[in-house]
C-alpha cells in the first residue's frame, strides 16, 4: 500500500526564510507565450503554449539545429562551401542576397540565417544537407518527433508562410534549450549584432533581436514576423546564475514585441529567486522496516534541494512524502525509497526522490518474531475496531 506523510516545511528548516505572498498572475498581450527558467527547469508562465501556430522565421531555429547536428557529426565543417541554386536566389523576404555564383561557407550561412534572417541562406542549407528543401522538411519533421516536439510540422526551412508550417511555443522552448545546452560552441553566433556578407547588405546588416541592445543579459535567439503570425520572438537571458528562455508570438508591432519581451525578462528575474530549501542528508521522515535488524530508517534527499520561489513569498512550503509500505529488509544506504512532493504557490509542484539514510540488514529470529507479533496485533486491533 502507499504511505503518505504530510509535512509543513518551516522557514527555519528551509533557509533564508523567504517563501510563497500570492503572486499576481502575469498578463501577457502575446497571443501565445511560454517563459521557462531552465536553470531550475521551472515554467513561470504559459499561455496557449501547446497550440500549433505559424512560427514565421522562428522556425529557422530548427534549420540551424539540423545544421549544428551536421557539424557535430562531422558531416560538414564551418569551412564547407555550399552551392546556391536559382530557387534559393529567388526567395523573397529577408535575404543574404546570394546568387548562383556564390559558394558561401557554412559559417557564413549560419551568420546569414541568425543575423540577417536570410530565407535564401535557409534554402541553401536545406539543399546542401538533403538535396532538396522538400527532403529537408521531411527530415525536420522526423527530428522534431525524436526531440519530443509533438506540436510542430515543417513544410520548408525558412518559415515561409505555409499551412503545414506550425510550431507551438513549448516546442520552440524545447528547441531553444537544446541549442543552448547541446551546441555551446555555436550558440555564440546568436549574440552577434551585425553581419554584412560580402558587403552586400550595408543597410540591412543588423540583428533584429531587440533584446541584444538592452544590457539585460540577453544573448539570443531569433525574431519572426509574417502578416499571419504577427510579431514573435524567441529570446534567452542570463542574470545571477539563472538562465531564462521566453517565446512569444502574435504581437501587433516590433515595438510591442520588444517591450513585452523586456517586461517578461525583468519580471522573471525580479519576482523569483533560487533558494536551497533542504540540504542533502537531512531527515524529512521516518519509515518502518519489516524483517530487519532495525525497525526504522530515515528518509533523506541525496542532494541539496534548490527551488525557484517567488522572491517576496513568506508562506511555508507544503510537502508530502509518499512511499510503498511495508519496506522489507534488506535496505541499502542511498536506496531510493520514497518521493517528496513539494507544492509552491503559483508554480508547478516539484518531486524529489528520498533515499534511505542507512543500511538495514535482514534480521534474525528475534526481529522476525517481533514482526510476526506486530502483524498479529495490528490485525487484532483492526478486527476489534471493525466488530465494534
**Which amino acids are annotated catalytic?**
57, 60, 117
| Sequence-distant (≥ 6) Cβ neighbours of residue 221 within 8 angstroms | 61, 176, 179, 190, 209, 234, 235, 236
Q: What are phi and psi of 69, to 5 degrees?
A: -65, -40
Q: Name which of 273, 272, 264, 271 is nearest 237 in CA terms.
A: 264
Order of strands, sheet of 327-328, starting from the edge strand that comes earlier in the sequence = 2-9, 317-324, 336-344, 347-356, 296-301, 285-290, 327-328
Q: In whole angstroms, give the CA distance from residue 62 to residue 69.
A: 11
Task: State the cell numbers at 121.
Answer: 541562406
Q: In whole angstroms, give the CA distance from residue 151 to residue 174.
A: 11
| Sequence-distant (≥ 6) Cβ neighbours of residue 244 within 8 angstroms | 35, 36, 37, 38, 39, 44, 236, 237, 265, 268, 269
CA quadruple 371, 377, 379, 384: dihedral, nearest 10: -170
Cβ-based neighbour number of residue 326 at 10 Å: 14
* In the block, residue with C-alpha cell 517528496: 340
Burial 213-252 (b: 16+ CB within 10 A, else e): eeebbbbbbbbbbbeebbbbbbbbbeeeebbbbbbbbbbe
Amino acid at each position: 500500500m502507499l504511505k503518505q506523510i504530510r509535512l509543513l516545511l518551516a522557514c527555519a528548516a528551509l533557509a533564508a526564510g523567504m517563501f510563497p505572498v500570492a503572486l499576481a498572475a502575469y498578463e501577457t498581450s502575446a497571443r501565445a507565450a511560454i517563459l521557462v527558467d531552465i536553470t531550475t527547469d521551472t515554467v513561470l508562465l504559459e499561455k496557449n503554449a501547446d497550440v500549433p501556430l505559424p512560427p514565421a522565421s522562428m522556425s529557422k531555429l530548427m534549420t540551424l539545429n539540423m545544421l549544428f547536428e551536421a557539424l557535430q557529426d562531422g558531416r560538414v565543417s564551418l569551412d564547407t562551401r555550399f552551392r546556391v541554386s536559382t530557387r534559393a536566389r529567388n526567395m523573397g523576404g529577408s535575404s543574404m542576397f546570394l546568387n548562383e555564383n556564390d559558394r558561401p561557407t557554412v559559417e557564413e550561412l549560419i551568420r546569414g540565417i541568425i543575423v540577417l534572417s536570410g530565407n535564401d541562406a535557409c534554402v541553401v542549407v536545406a539543399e546542401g544537407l538533403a538535396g532538396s528543401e522538400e527532403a529537408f522538411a521531411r527530415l525536420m519533421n522526423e527530428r522534431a518527433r525524436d526531440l519530443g516536439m509533438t506540436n510542430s510540422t515543417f513544410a520548408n526551412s525558412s518559415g515561409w508562410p505555409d499551412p503545414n508550417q506550425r510550431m507551438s511555443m513549448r516546442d520552440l522552448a524545447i528547441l531553444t534549450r537544446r541549442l543552448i545546452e547541446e551546441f555551446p560552441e555555436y550558440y555564440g553566433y546568436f549574440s552577434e549584432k551585425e553581419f554584412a556578407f560580402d558587403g552586400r547588405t550595408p543597410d540591412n546588416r543588423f540583428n533584429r533581436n531587440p533584446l541584444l541592445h538592452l544590457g539585460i543579459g540577453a544573448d539570443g535567439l531569433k525574431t519572426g514576423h509574417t502578416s499571419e503570425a504577427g510579431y514573435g520572438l524567441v529570446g534567452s537571458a542570463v542574470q545571477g546564475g539563472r538562465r531564462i528562455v521566453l517565446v512569444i508570438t502574435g504581437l501587433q508591432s516590433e515595438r510591442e514585441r520588444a517591450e513585452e519581451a523586456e517586461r517578461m525578462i525583468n519580471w522573471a528575474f525580479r519576482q523569483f529567486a533560487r533558494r536551497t530549501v533542504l540540504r542533502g542528508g537531512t531527515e524529512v521522515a521516518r519509515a518502518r522496516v519489516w524483517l530487519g535488524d532495525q525497525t526504522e530508517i530515515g528518509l533523506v534527499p541525496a542532494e541539496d534541494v534548490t527551488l525557484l520561489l517567488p522572491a517576496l513569498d513568506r508562506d511555508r512550503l507544503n510537502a508530502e512524502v509518499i512511499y510503498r509500505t511495508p519496506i522489507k529488509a534488506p535496505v541499502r544506504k542511498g536506496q531510493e525509497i520514497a518521493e517528496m512532493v513539494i507544492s509552491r504557490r503559483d508554480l508547478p509542484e516539484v518531486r524529489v526522490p528520498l533515499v534511505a539514510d542507512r543500511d538495514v540488514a535482514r534480521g534474525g529470529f528475534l526481529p522476525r518474531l517481533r514482526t510476526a507479533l506486530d502483524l498479529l496485533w495490528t490485525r487484532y486491533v483492526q478486527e476489534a475496531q471493525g466488530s465494534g
